[in-house]
Chains A and B, each alone.
Chain A
């Protein structure tokens, strides 16, 4: 979705971006993190060409942005700036509709968008649409800042320390909200922060920068387990230390009685099985017993008509982990992925069980209070 190829930028002889190359896949939330002045904001602004690069190419959707019209590019990329930047002379509704108006959407359409957007963050239209930014709390302003970036439904959204100025509680709530919106609307988000906790809770991919270079680009758990430099360790502070006190493997926290069927199982038989066992998802295996994917009852209900077996409805990308991995891995997938469970596999890829919130809580409780009554 976004690809940097050997991008460099310098200001008066100092190299601010030093030969950056990386790629962010569609639908991912990538977090840029690093010490102040390492080039996070600069990296972000090169994507919508608020800053022009000296060398290298940036591709958005496979097209080099240098050849795109700047204004069009920016209308297709939502942008939340470091200081919120809601226009104080415009109402909430006018702020949300800035980009739709630039795109010459009709008045009715703009109003509809405002309704939908405010709905997303549970701020009633009647109460808020006609307020001015200085009549809102900091958290509300920040929400509107995010909505303004989403209003014209751009596939990509850039956010530069959007929650920097908020109190920790509001910050947590908004992190969750953005994460939820991102998954619901399937956006690709590039998110800048100073705060490792924020990075680890929100990111699919963390990109750690120092002095204009990428030091490490990895998933949150990978970074927690194998931080690539001392600086990253110090950024993670207590978090990475704490983990060493949790030696439990995934096998310790999983439930091992699970219902599996082969992927050529019939659609109707599968629904019947799920309703009998009172479960909403089935784990599917290949003919040789190795794990293939999962299928949910919702999916079958929505698009199951006309299929004989469940195979075409199967979700192959469902989160899983191996039974001998650290329990933390499954935990992070379960919490960050917003899923109900994580499939657990043996190294030969047969299904060993699942980790659910309940199974995990039970094993944690056992660790703390001992086994049984």
Chain B
């Protein structure tokens, strides 16, 4: 075991670092895009009813196929994997943002308006805070999925924990597979815990009970 860590320790740490970098960067991009888009769609539900089903259809295209296409278009640069991951990460956040805002009870919207808030003020002070639990759970979903999708980076030689897993598979080395898979699983759990922490900071305790 210690031998194993001596040989692979550095490699694992490095792969995990790259992996995390891909995950965080792509989810951050996805978050910015989907928050904006979700807000815009919530202003135009008619469009949302067209765009959201289309996006969910796209979500069923296998990741490998999509990364392959993007690889052909852009080449072996980190941007390829980051764009691909970001695109897959958009949907859960987008959908939850949109639904979260749309489902804000009409009475709160009316109260906001009746108090004299402009549409923007109502959005920032009332609708988004009330949609926050949904948005955060979308973010959690995206983050956890992206940790596993990022394994695909290794397919086009961009490193990450997938490197170890694929190397393990091709050399029939189970220890090596685990050396990639366990840190990935651990990373997913830590990300989830990180989101819990964020939720704890952003959502006051008395309001926390009805969250997924």
Contacts and interface: CB of A to CB of B under 8 A. Distances in A.
Q: Do A and B bind each other?
A: yes
Contact of B107 (A74, A83, A132): A83
A134 B203 CA distance: 14
Contacts of B206: 131-132, 134-135
Given A102-B121, A132-B204, A82 B114 contact: no
**Interface residue tally on A, bucketed by range:** 20 to 34
B128 to A, nearest CB: 10
Interface of B is mostly: helix
Given A87-B108, A88-B130, A50 B204 contact: no
Contacts of B126: 87
B107 A98 contact: no
A221 B61 CA distance: 74
Interface string B111-140: 111111110010001100110100000000
B114 A79 contact: yes
B108 A48 contact: no
B207 interface: yes
Contacts of A131: 206
Interface in B69-83: none
Contacts of A71: 116-118
Interface string A66-95: 000001111100010111111111010000
A50 B106 CA distance: 13
Interface string A251-294: 00000000000000000000000000000000000000000000
A86 B118 CA distance: 18
A85 B108 contact: yes
Contacts of A98: 115, 117, 125
Nearest to B202: A89
A50 B188 CA distance: 47
B103 interface: no
B107 A85 contact: yes
A99 interface: yes
Nearest to B113: A50
A135 B121 CA distance: 26
A100 B131 CA distance: 24
Nearest to A71: B116
Contacts of A74: 113-116
B207 A99 contact: no
A85 B204 CA distance: 18
Interface in A238-256: none
A3 interface: no
A148 interface: yes
A89 B115 contact: no
Interface string A154-177: 000000000000000000000000
A85 B117 contact: no
Contacts of B132: 89
A132 to B, nearest CB: 4
B110 interface: yes
A89 B130 contact: yes
Nearest to A74: B116
A98 B108 CA distance: 13
A158 to B, nearest CB: 8
Contacts of A84: 107
A102 B132 CA distance: 22
Interface in A35-65: 48, 50
Nearest to A84: B107
Contacts of B125: 87, 98
B110 to A, nearest CB: 6
Contacts of B110: 50, 81, 85
A253 B45 CA distance: 66
Closest 6 CB pairs of A and B: A85-B111, A74-B116, A79-B114, A75-B116, A83-B107, A132-B206
Given A74-B114, A81-B110, A87-B125, 6 more contacts: A48-B114, A71-B116, A79-B114, A85-B111, A98-B125, A135-B206
Interface of A: 48, 50, 71-75, 79, 81-89, 91, 98-99, 102, 131-132, 134-135, 148
21 contacts: A50-B113, A71-B118, A73-B116, A74-B114, A75-B115, A75-B116, A79-B111, A79-B115, A81-B110, A81-B111, A86-B111, A87-B108, A87-B111, A88-B130, A89-B204, A91-B204, A98-B125, A102-B117, A132-B204, A134-B207, A135-B206
